[in-house]
Structure 1
């Protein structure tokens, strides 16, 4: 008898537990009018370790310094959320609040207030992603990667994420499309050199890296960037016939939108070749790593 498949879990205990402990709608971690949560206890800062799967990767020096100044003046208003360290007795791992932990070290605090929760590995990552997204604490690329992790690791759909996080499905889909751009263009978005709106206009362009540099150099508006990308794609002219025999017609807006939706849902580049006036066509899914291939196989097998 075939093994019974595990049902995909919905947004689980991690989300509800986090929302009970942290005011995710707070505009700032050190807001002057933010209510202070009662910590479970105070822990030595050297017994706390960061979460290696923390979705937030960029901690800028000016922001940490500003937070450290606030902590010196007011202390840590909102406790960190931690769990007992899975491998080191007597130590704890951060679930939410790594930036506060880093700033506390700059402020030379020896102890920090914490809330201790018994989260498993899945819930730790889920909570860390959702906490950052709810705080608008991630840049667009980090936020998109967070959505992708929630979908692939936990089986959440774009619709479920939109409902749980108070985001629109189009917001999630549009951000996830950014992950199909070359790494150098993603780096521009991460650093703030290129806005997410500019970057979206380059997703279907043939040479997004070159166009991104041109957009930044000339200081183009989003509308001008869209026009530049359309011109680079050949406008509405039919494409030349390729040697491999692939369809040569310029894709209409609906086909391009479908490619974008499928690419966002899978987190991989999806190409739809559909010859006008015919029923048949071809879908190509491109993966960059074996991990992506495994994820694709899981998605296809789970749908049977």
Structure 2
């Protein structure tokens, strides 16, 4: 093994080459160099969960002749002369796969080294800031990271690092935990999308039996489009439709067919009174109107109503 950096001595040589890198409220002083893959170690408090081996990323590394973006690393606090990854765990993992395949040309990795070992909070803040700039943050990562941060640091510190309220943090954690129940999707990362749609429905309607029924029907591929879960907003408040959906035979479309007629809530005040009067007149049967034709009392009341409405319009104009 050829270590490009006998680290401690070389770090002192690079002090004059330090540059500032601002990551939100965290300002890092770093220098760039290369190091052997064996003196770079992963971070055991990595916020990203799940598998990191990615064949497509390996192909990209090979096509580029190595890593295009250097790993962000810090001096390792427990192993002198080695570095710990702040950002770049996937790139390191897939470079190691290539080296283990005998492709030694990928052993030397470009790195950007901080001038000090960061605190846990600064390290996490730096990682989160970097990942928020990437497309996958909105696609799948923020719920996963929220869940991981709560596990690492507790709810209050996690919310502070993410710059959100504890209530917002709890919602992200709930979405992540729910997404873990969707186990049969073709694309596992799409589970977050399904969970987000479910959490868009009123939480008080989501009893454990409803969650279990939805997850089972999704995993059984009886619900195949995440947007269809929005139908639950109509189904769950209706006792007949909800009971049918919970049955073994029920699905979203068949439950929608069992929705009862919706009743309009009456509006209060003058607007509500006028609307009620109009609806009452619309509801008079045609045969009744025929019987009342020419009735002097009805015609007098209509005249009075017209006069009152004209006065009302004039007053409100």
Is 1:112 the counterpart of 2:109? The answer is yes
C-alpha root-mean-square deviation of aligned residues, in Å? 4.0
Instruction: Tell which structure's C-alpha radius of gyration is larger.
Output: 2
For normalisation by structure 1, the TM-score amounts to: 0.52
> 2: CA distance between counterparts of 1:211 and 1:156?
33
Q: Structure 1 residues 144 and 229, CA, compared in 2 at 3 Å: closer, same or farther?
A: farther
Corresponding position of 1:145: 147
**What TM-score, normalized by structure 2, do the two folds share?**
0.50
TM superposition shift of 1:151: 6.2
Q: Please list every run of 5 or more consecutive structure 2 residues that lacks an aligned counterpart in the other structure.
A: 1-21, 100-105, 242-317
Match of 1:52, SS?
Answer: coil
SS at match of 1:218: coil
* 1:1-304 paired onto structure 2 within 5 Å: 15-16=24-25, 40-59=32-51, 61=53, 64-74=54-64, 75-108=66-99, 109-117=106-114, 118=116, 119-137=118-136, 139-140=140-141, 141-145=143-147, 152-153=156-157, 156=160, 160=163, 175-179=172-176, 181=178, 183-185=180-182, 191-193=189-191, 195-201=194-200, 203-204=203-204, 205-206=206-207, 207=209, 208-216=211-219, 217-222=221-226, 224-228=228-232, 231-232=235-236
Alpha-carbon contact 1:45-1:111 (below 8 Å) kept: yes
* Aligned-pair CA distance for 1:91: 1.0
Higher helix share: 2
Please give the alpha-carbon distance, in whole angstroms, between the structure 1 residues aligned to 2:237 and 2:72. Answer: 48
- Number of residue equivalences: 199
Change in CA separation of 1:182 and 1:172 when aligned onto 2, cut-off 3 Å: closer
What secondary structure is seen at the aligned counterpart in 1 of 2:79? coil
Segments of 5+ residues of structure 1 without an aligned counterpart are 1-12, 22-38, 163-169, 238-304
SS at match of 2:181: helix
Counterparts of 1:79 and 1:130, CA distance in 2: 16
- The higher-RCO structure (CA 8 Å, 6+ apart) is 1
Q: 1:201 and 1:101, CA in 2 relative to 1: closer, same or farther beyond 3 A?
A: same
Shift of 1:199: 3.2
Residues 229-276 of structure 1: per-residue CA shift (max 9 Å, x gap): 653465699xxxxxxxxxxxxxxxxxxxxxxxxxxxxxxxxxxxxxxx
Q: CA deviation at 1:123?
A: 1.0
Deviation at 1:103, TM superposition (A): 1.6
